[in-house]
Chains A and B, each alone.
Chain A
Amino acid sequence: IAGITQAPTSQILAAGRRMTLRCTQDMRHNAMYWYRQDLGLGLRLIHYSNTAGTTGKGEVPDGYSVSRANTDDFPLTLASAVPSQTSVYFCASRASVGDTGELFFGEGSRLTVL
């Protein structure tokens, strides 16, 4: 089934540990995004990539890094996790920069940092 796959779906992590959330899409979409969803704050953009090989910072990039080595994969890394990074993380994609911009979302990754 075409779409976006995120892994893991849920993870409990000790503070200070390194963690990578994986995101893979098979729709050949150029643009990909990482959001975090927190109660009362909605979705906040962490990082984005408009095409393979490029990335950009969103609203809340501190403590996170991304890479876009190819079209399909867009991993999000927490180099040293902190409790404030406890959240639900959504990966999203859309076809291209010039289209009408509808986002397709993954199922989310729930991360708890203790």
Chain B
Amino acid sequence: AQSVSQHNHHVILSEAASLELGCNYSYGGTVNLFWYVQYPGQHLQLLLKYFSGDPLVKGIKGFEAEFIKSKFSFNLRKPSVQWSDTAEYFCAVNALFPNNDMRFGAGTRLTVKP
């Protein structure tokens, strides 16, 4: 089964700083890739997804992610963070075979200081 690693457990940034959160997965087959965000007290919401085509995908709120197949990576980026981006971010991998299930990383907590 696939596994997902997020290398940063807690990231603290000032407003307007650039953000990059790492995500690596272990699985050799076809995958769909996702980033979800969880604001305090809320459930997970989709930020962006990759399933085919251009490996650079753009999501909501100015986030983007790049799929690098050779590195099994799908890092999340944002050029300039805002205080409202404070949340927990989860990378997720859907391996189409054999079970088509969805596995999540442990999450990265982002704190943006105003």
Q: Interface residues, chain A, CB within 8 Å of chain B?
A: 31, 33, 35, 40-45, 48, 50, 56, 58-59, 90, 92, 94, 97, 100-103, 105-108
Tell me which residues across on chain B come within 8 A of A44, comparing CB atoms: 104
Tell me which residues across on chain A come within 8 A of B51, comparing CB atoms: 100-101
Q: What is the distance, in angstroms, from B91's C-beta to the closest C-beta of chain A?
A: 9
Q: What is the distance, in angstroms, from B97's C-beta to the closest C-beta of chain A?
A: 10
Tell me which residues across on chain A come within 8 A of B44, comparing CB atoms: 43, 90, 103, 105
Residue of B nearest to A94 (CB): B102
- Interface residue? B70 (CB, 8 A): no
Q: Interface residues, chain B, CB within 8 Å of chain A?
A: 1, 6, 9, 32, 34, 36, 43-46, 49, 51, 90, 92, 94, 99-107
CA A92 – CA B90 in complex, angstroms? 15
Q: Which of A50, A94, A102, A108 contacts B43 (CB 8 A)?
A: A108
Q: Are B102 and A106 closer than 8 Å at their CB atoms?
A: no
Residue of B nearest to A102 (CB): B46
Q: Are A101 and B43 closer than 8 Å at their CB atoms?
A: no
Q: Which of A42, A45, A100, A105 contacts B107 (CB 8 A)?
A: A42
